[in-house]
Structure 1
Amino acid sequence: MPSLNISTNVPLEGLNTSEILSETSKSVAKIIGKPEAYVMVQLKGSVAISFGGTEEPAAYGELVSIGGLGSDTNKKLSAAIATILDTKLKVPKSRFYIKFYDVKRSDFGWNGTTF
């Protein structure tokens, strides 16, 4: 059930967001080792973001998962997602933060109940 939310100050109009979502979803599933059928990715553009005192392209992400996260995995996820944002949205890797949350099954709801 990995859920990734990405906010960026880059406008998404005219971009192939389906390609970005698909590539990100596949990467998250592969790196965490969970079925892609349970991966959710949300991408919000044109969000007011200042990073280092400028409004140059930047992004912030949060990834929540029930298990599958840890030091090595988080590094791989950070690298993969940063590469996608750099390639597809021109957000430099140095202007992207991501926070990881490893939660208990009872702390995440789905299908009218919790996992």
Structure 2
Amino acid sequence: MPSLELKTNVPLADPKPFLLEFSKFAAATLGKPELYISVSYHYNENLTFHGSFEPAFLMTVTSLDNLTPALNEGYSKAFFDYFESKLGIANDRGYITFLDPGRVNLGYKATTFGTIFGK
């Protein structure tokens, strides 16, 4: 169920191709079927980082059961490398927040994952 919300000051003429590619990359990186991946792109020309408007990003990754300190280190490297390659954002110009809300705190199909899969 991973969802990835990307906020950046890097404009994309047409974000749809980027998002489709990013969805595949996120699935491979997180080891989850793309069927369960949700990605979003929010352009904000007013996003600053380190006191400048140079290319930057903020991202929140919300996922169940596969966010650990050791795994997050690898995910962080992969995503920072990806954004540098695809968006031209240096690896010191962003933050990634990793969140695991717990199964009982994530709704799906008019219930929660806690009910679907057990707590």
Aligned partners of 1:31 and 1:73 also within 8 Å? no
Q: Please list every run of 5 or more consecutive structure 2 residues that lacks an aligned counterpart in the other structure.
A: 114-119
- TM-score by length of structure 1 reads 0.86
Per the TM alignment, residue 110 of structure 1 is displaced from its structure 2 partner at its CA by: 1.7
CA offsets 1:82-112 (integer angstroms, 9 cap, x no match): 1221112111111011000012111111222
1:89 corresponds in structure 2 to 87
**Per-residue deviation, 1:71:** 1.6
Q: Which runs of 4+ in 1 moved over 4 A?
A: none
- 1:49 corresponds in structure 2 to 47
Mapped to 2, the partners of 1:75 and 1:106 lie a distance apart of 26
Q: Which structure's CA Rg is the greater one?
A: 2
Q: What is the Cα deviation at residue 47 of structure 1?
A: 4.2
In 1, the alpha carbon distance for the partners of 2:86 and 2:46 equals 19
Q: Count residues with an aligned counterpart.
A: 113
Query: Whose RCO is larger (CA < 8 A, sep 6+)?
Result: 1
Counterpart in 2 of 1:80?
A: 78
Percent identity between the two aligned chains: 37
Which runs of no fewer than 5 residues in structure 1 stay unpaired? none
Cα separation, partners in 2 of 1:36 and 1:62, compared to 1, 3 Å: same
SS at match of 1:75: helix
- The TM-score with structure 2 as length reference comes to 0.84
Contact 1:25 1:41 in 2 (8 A): yes
Q: CA RMSD, aligned part only? A: 1.6
Q: Which stretch of the first structure deviates more once superposed, 53-62 or 66-75? A: 66-75
Instruction: State the partner residue of 1:32.
Output: 30
Letter in 2 for 1:96: G
Number of the residue aligned with 1:108: 106
Which digits, 9 at most, give the CA deviation of each residue in 1:3-29, with x for residues without a partner? 0001001112x25x3343233322322
